[in-house]
Chain A
């Protein structure tokens, strides 16, 4: 039953994705690319890039995208629900506790424990995604990829430019490489 598998897989991802931003990415990679093989790493890289240009968290975007690819629109809806159900339940429990008691030390301690692990996992995801996007292509496309990577790296260190702008620069450089 594909819907059930989608639901359970994305619930597992939803409950493991501590810390926001790119935190969901290594977990999605593990469950969706490596275990279920529903999409490949290139498609995950694509959806991550597309996520920078569209509203919404990467977790929800990836769930919708993968769900639709695996089982059409209902699949997209079920995967997205699966991704948010664990947080919904935790919000109800922990939110009620917070609004009653004001302070949740054990929650803070869980987060403190998770943060360094997530950062380590994000570095691992960066390694596999940049290996793929820089070494997985050849010729002019590889030149464009290396140039986009370098430009984005410098600009995001030196300026406060929005990620959207950096991604658009990458897109333009990529398209230019077709004519070389």
Chain B
């Protein structure tokens, strides 16, 4: 599909579609990406499949919330800086509103026996879900480069659990090592 004969998306559509998508999608980045693709590639011919893939890849590479990054990139691609601002506002308003309400109820119900008991069970369940999710992330990393991934992952784990090094320095230090390694590796492969 060429860029010329593609319909121009309105800022209102951008803002409302991302508001709606972010309001009804639970479970964060990986859950929301297929929905964004459905709206912008399948339902409306605003983006090609390849353009969407590029956007999704970059959204995962930029730090921050993936759902928000994807929304901003689609906005930027279709309507420039203004488009990305409108998409950003559409995307973060739903969680902002919902959590503001919940935070009010949390204050009120925090001491309620049943709410506290429910949260104990929920937190335990979430710990298990996180463990499984971390394990599957580790497994997919190990498919590519076992030694490199294990060294970085274990160093990060050990340093974070047993030292007081700030997570920022940890990311910067270990990240630079990993970056240099990958840069050298991709130079050697070319």
Contacts and interface: CB of A to CB of B under 8 A. Distances in A.
Interface in A119-164: 119-130, 132-134, 137, 141, 144-146, 148-153, 156-157, 162-164
Given A22-B134, A76-B96, A94-B58, A58 B28 contact: yes
B100 A68 contact: yes
Dominant secondary structure of chain A at its interface with chain B = helix
Contacts of B141: 115-116, 119
Contacts of B129: 52, 152, 156, 163, 166-167
A156 B164 CA distance: 33
Interface in B52-74: 54, 57-58, 60-69, 72-73
Dominant secondary structure of chain B at its interface with chain A = helix
A60, A61, A169, most chain B CB atoms within 10 A: A60
A178 B127 CA distance: 21
Contacts of B12: none
Contact of A116 (B95, B96, B148, B167): B148
A95 B70 CA distance: 10
A177 B117 CA distance: 7
Contact of B132 (A105, A153, A169, A178): A153
Contacts, number: 371
A77 to B, nearest CB: 7
Contact of A144 (B30, B120, B158): B120
Contacts of A166: 125, 128-129
A18 B174 CA distance: 13
Interface residues of A, number: 113
Interface residues of B, number: 91
A73 interface: yes
A177 B103 CA distance: 25
A109 B96 contact: no
B126 A102 contact: no
A77 B121 CA distance: 30
A76 B85 CA distance: 19
Contact of B125 (A14, A35, A167): A167
Interface of B: 22-30, 54, 57-58, 60-69, 72-73, 76-77, 81, 84-85, 88, 92, 94-96, 98-100, 102-103, 106, 113-114, 117-134, 137-138, 141, 148-158, 160-161, 166-168, 170-171, 174-179, 181-183, 186
Interface of A: 12, 14-22, 24-27, 30-31, 35, 42, 45-46, 48-61, 64-65, 68-69, 73, 76-77, 80, 83-84, 86-88, 90-92, 94-96, 98-99, 102, 104-130, 132-134, 137, 141, 144-146, 148-153, 156-157, 162-164, 166-167, 169-175, 177-178
Q: Which 4 A-B pairs have the closest CB atoms?
A: A56-B95, A174-B121, A113-B178, A120-B156
12 contacts: A52-B126, A54-B98, A60-B99, A65-B99, A76-B96, A87-B68, A91-B76, A111-B60, A116-B149, A121-B170, A130-B128, A145-B121
